[in-house]
Amino acid sequence: MNFYVTYNTLKTLDSRPIQYERALLEWNTDIYCPMYASPSYLEKYARNKEMTRPLILCEYAHAMGNSLGNFQEYWDIIEKYPILQGGCIWDWVDQGFAAQTDDGRKYWTYGGDYGENGTPSDGNFCINGVVYPDRSVKPQTEEMGKVYQNIKFLDFDKQTSTVKIRNDFSFTNLDKYDFYYIIRDHGKEVYRGKIENIHAAPGKTVTTGFLNGIPKEKQTTGDVRIEFYAAIKTAEPFLPAGTVIAREQTYVHTFYKKEATAQQPATSKEEGNLVAFSGPDFKATFDKQSGLLTSYLYKKHEYILNGQGPRPFFWRAPTDNDYGANLPVRLKAWKEASYQEPKAESFQVTPGSNATTIKVTYRFPQTDARWDITYKIYASGVIKVDNRFVAEGDQAPMIPRVGLRMQLPESFTDLTYYGRGPKENYRDRRTSQFIGEYAIPVKDMYEPYVRPQENNHRTDIYWCALTDKTQRGLLLIADRTFELNTSNYPLESMDSGDTIDNSAPRTEKTHHRHLTDPLPEKMVDLFIDYRMMGVGGDDSWGATAHEPYLIRPGKENAIEYGFSLVPFDKKEDYKYLIRQY
């Protein structure tokens, strides 16, 4: 078929615009419609004065597995330039079939699960939707909805107590919606108010009147945030009255701590290759060779499982986008560093007037990296953990994560945290998840991607508490913020190795894994990260996360972060302790 002739013929028959992707920038398309162009490419096109045709991405934001990173960045640019007019996410739904294991556990099948040996297959390349096969939502679904909302809350001004509201609808006035706001102090609702008389025609912006209830900074030590909502007044098809269609959160006053509670130092005693530190109600034991905290007893209860105290860790279970960019192979040095036998290059104990200090140094020759952990141990049982990490090697690749891994007993069944949630989120996919206090059973943290991979991450964590059924537990309080994974599923159970078998003909050895393959274990796998790299999402065959969401090695990129471990029992109010350490 001659598509130049086709274009001219169609124009004589129909006046509507013609879109033809394979024309690229040639003349026989009225709409420039590339596939998987990056946000930076879109901006370059929009700024080119010679470009006059609208750009609509015929496919973009490849939503395969744990994906849809930097989606907000796409729309920050699309909304900036009128010539950019949107795109079509690939795609809507994971195309898997329902199946179950012999013992009745449900999962989804995909390419390679059917046919005789030699049957062609695209593997899980049919699993790239923003919803699961049964149309249940993923964390990506919420991110998409938040970014796509047609009402924007902009430029909140706490001095004048006003906010701007922009109407991005094409035909709808904002007077058909109810507007309200909620003020929260450290997650607790302290005020709720209506925003009256919002009338804005399509494309227009209005400024609200004075918003009552905003507290002065001196009245609180909490993290005070304000949330704005727009909800439909009358029911619409599939949407009952009161359904929220737009929302935003911003801060009023940031969290700060009171002066730290005065502390006494723990006493220390060497026991062969071990050093024990103790106070009236606790005992912490370190192994001098490995440098690990191997036992953490508080009021006769053990808080560390099988000697697996905090250790440097740099790996994550690869995502579909990671495999597409060959990161399990390219970044393998960091996997080797994560699993090398812990061996302290140095282990120094220093008594002090209010804390006994341990400094442990680790080296990772695979990447010419160094990690220094400084523990300050108090008689109360509190342990302050300060970290400094630097990868000095010129050849070291980018880093999947920078954090500490530890394991806790299975009795710690419940997680409460103050940070972004309630759903899984990453540095490049978090605008839909608001800062707040969330309580989730550890067993429910697992996100059931059709093919197992990295999941359940949380960002901007100010503190978290893991508790047992008696409300005894362990509190982790960030110096600033950290990132978090916690699960009964060990990371190793979600790691499919260096490669997966997409596009390989079916054989008995084809490596297809399903959400039922990882099995929960009798432990809590806990990661306290400085950062994890983003999940990306421009495509799933080479693109990585964008530069702001990568972790680069180098002396100039040395990392420091810290937190406090605070054990407590059922008689203590751990939320009172949050501001003390």
- The full 3-state SS of 479-495, as one line of letters, equals EEEEEEEEECCCHHHHC
Spatial separation of the C-alpha atoms in residues 11 and 1, rounded to whole Å: 16
Residue 255 near residue 437, CB atoms below 8 Å: no
**What is residue 510's predicted lDDT score, i.e. its pLDDT?**
56
**What is residue 254's predicted lDDT score, i.e. its pLDDT?**
77
Residue partners of 12: CB distance under 8 A and separation at least 6: none
**What is residue 271's predicted lDDT score, i.e. its pLDDT?**
86
Spatial separation of the C-alpha atoms in residues 548 and 380, rounded to whole Å: 40
**What is residue 504's predicted lDDT score, i.e. its pLDDT?**
56
Let me know how many helices (H) and strands (E) the chain has, helices first: 8, 28
Domain 149-256, classified CATH 3.40.720.10, yes or no: no
User: Burial code of 437-460, b = ≥16 C-beta within 10 A, e = fewer?
Assistant: bbebebeebbbbbbbbbbbbbbbb
Query: SS3 of 103, please?
Result: coil
Encoded amino acid at 415, one letter: L
**What is residue 488's predicted lDDT score, i.e. its pLDDT?**
98
Strand order in the sheet with 162-167: 151-157, 162-167, 205-207
Encoded amino acid at 345, one letter: E
**What is residue 9's predicted lDDT score, i.e. its pLDDT?**
96
**What is residue 506's predicted lDDT score, i.e. its pLDDT?**
56
Spatial separation of the C-alpha atoms in residues 166 and 519, rounded to whole Å: 47
Query: SS3 of 509, please?
Result: coil
Residue 2: CB atoms within 10 Å: 9
Encoded amino acid at 136, one letter: S
If residue 15 lies in a helix (H) or strand (E), which one and from where to where? none
**Exposed/middle/buried for residue 273 (C-beta within 10 Å: 0-12, 13-18, 19+):** exposed
**What is residue 215's predicted lDDT score, i.e. its pLDDT?**
81
Residue partners of 123: CB distance under 8 A and separation at least 6: 110, 111, 112, 500, 501, 502, 503, 504, 512
Class of domain 267-500+511-537+550-580 (CATH, top level):
mainly beta
Spatial separation of the C-alpha atoms in residues 402 and 424, rounded to whole Å: 18
pLDDT tens string, the chain, 581 residues long: the values are 799 999 999 999 999 999 999 999 999 999 999 999 999 999 999 999 999 999 999 999 999 999 999 999 999 999 999 999 999 999 999 999 999 999 999 999 998 888 887 788 888 999 999 999 999 999 999 999 999 999 999 999 988 999 999 999 999 999 999 999 999 998 999 999 999 999 999 999 999 988 999 887 666 667 899 999 999 999 999 999 999 999 999 989 877 665 566 689 999 999 889 999 999 999 999 999 999 999 999 999 999 999 999 999 999 999 999 999 999 999 999 999 999 999 999 999 999 988 999 999 999 999 999 999 999 999 999 999 999 999 988 788 999 999 999 999 999 999 999 999 999 999 999 999 999 999 999 999 999 999 999 999 999 999 999 999 999 999 999 999 999 999 999 999 999 988 876 655 555 555 678 999 999 999 999 999 999 999 999 999 999 999 999 999 998 899 999 999 999 997 777 777 887 77
Q: Are strands 205-207 and 188-195 parallel, antiparallel or unpaired?
A: unpaired
CATH code, residues 31-140: 3.20.20.80
Scanning the structure block, which residue is given the tokens 């297959």?
121
Spatial separation of the C-alpha atoms in residues 313 and 525, rounded to whole Å: 12
For residue 517, whether the previous peptide bond is cis, meaning omega lies within 30 degrees of 0, is: no
One DSSP character per residue, 39-90 reads HHHHHHHHH-TT--S-EEEEEES---SS--TTHHHHHHHHTT-TTEEEEEES
Nearest to 500 by CA among 93, 117, 64, 95: 64
Scanning the structure block, which residue is given the tokens 């929260």?
184
Nearest to 224 by CA among 179, 188, 181: 188
Tokens of 166: 């922009």
- What's 93's DSSP letter? B
What is the chain's length?
A: 581
Does this model's pTM top 0.85? My answer is yes
Q: Which residues pair with 458 in a beta bridge?
A: 484
Residue 505 phi, psi dihedral angles, 5° rounding: -60, 150
Distance of CA 330 to the CA centre of its chain: 22
Where in the chain are the domains?
31-140, 149-256, 267-500+511-537+550-580
Encoded amino acid at 546, one letter: H
Residue partners of 480: CB distance under 8 A and separation at least 6: 561
**What is residue 99's predicted lDDT score, i.e. its pLDDT?**
96
CA torsion sign for 182, 185, 191, 195 is negative
Nearest to 416 by CA among 476, 460, 346: 476
Encoded amino acid at 541, one letter: W
